[in-house]
Amino acid sequence: MKIARDIAPPILPLSLEDMGYAVGGKTLLSGITLRIEAGQRLVVMGANGAGKSLFLRLCHGLIDPTQGRRRWASDEARAEAQAMVFQRPVLLRRSVAANLDYPLALKGLPRAARRETVARTLDRFGLNDLAERPARLLSGGEQQRLALARAWAMRPQVLFLDEPSSALDPSATRIIEEMVAQFSDEGITIVMTTHDLGQARRLAAQVAFLHRGRLIEHRPAAEFFAGPEAAEARAFLAGDLIW
């Protein structure tokens, strides 16, 4: 199981060099220079509309920068070495087990290896009783647990999460946070957004703070929470509205 990740060339660090994104003549992100190191747990914060989701989509490669560069350490395993989980999980109209199996099949894993991986994943994340249930009938918290389990089963080097628990209750949120923390302990690089300050404090090793499409602060989490330098970030932490 570990092998797939270990033999793939490391794709991190990810270097963003003056990265920007404009559409329809409107600049939505600009001047983002940032290096994401292997093993990092980076939480991207900022007000609604600051550009957090766009930032993740650019990093993951769902869209391409219109300015500057996004450079991985290696392009060889770039696509299969990264996974992304969205606020609302994107699940197939199939069983829980089939949702786990499908991306492994796309990746070209032989049937026996897939069966073993699916069984191990169901077991590890407490999904055994739900294995044959249509994924779309699961509760929101169960669906998100499945989405994270599916991402884990792909053995990514880096996992992007966009507000993974913002629609969930506190106990489902705790499960998601525990999963993210475990993935990080296993060496998976985490890049996530959250509106939940408590969650950011619990999970972040570093914080990147976006304001109107610009990266205005990037620091170790302890420093950031002790007192951000930027006035906008201070206002955000204090709960003031910033635009």
Ligand X SMILES: Nc1ncnc2c1ncn2[C@@H]1O[C@H](COP(=O)(O)OP(=O)(O)OP(=O)(O)O)[C@@H](O)[C@H]1O
Which residues contact residue 9 at a Cβ distance below 8 angstroms, ignoring those fewer than 6 apart? 73, 74, 76, 77
Residues 34-63 that bind Mg ion (CB under 5 A): 52-53
Reference 160, options 4, 48, 12, 3; nearest CA is 12
DSSP string spanning 189-208? EEEEE-S-HHHHHHH-SEEE
∠ CA 132-163-200, rounded to 5°: 120
Residue 81 vs 210, nearer CB to Mg ion:
210
Residue selected from 14, 32, 50, 200 as contacting ligand X according to rule CB under 6 A: 50
Question: Shortest gap between Cβ of 52 and Mg ion (angstroms)?
Answer: 5
Q: Decide if 229 contacts 207 (C-beta within 8 A).
A: no
**Smallest distance, ligand X to C-beta of residue 148, A:** 19
Quote the distance between the C-alpha of residue 158 and its chain's center. 8
- Is the peptide bond preceding residue 89 cis, with omega within 30 degrees of 0? no
Question: Which residue lies nearer to ligand X by CB, 86 or 102?
Answer: 86
Residue 23 binds which one of ligand X, Mg ion, none, with CB within 5 to 8 A depending on kind? ligand X
- In the list Mg ion, ligand X, none, the entry touching 156 (Cβ below 5 to 8 angstroms by class) is none
User: Would you say 50 or 153 has its CB closer to Mg ion?
Assistant: 50
Q: Does 59 bind ligand X (CB under 6 A)?
A: no
Does position 53 bind ligand X by CB under 6 A? yes
Q: Which residues in this chain contact ligand X in the complex, by CB under 6 A?
A: 23, 28, 46, 48-54
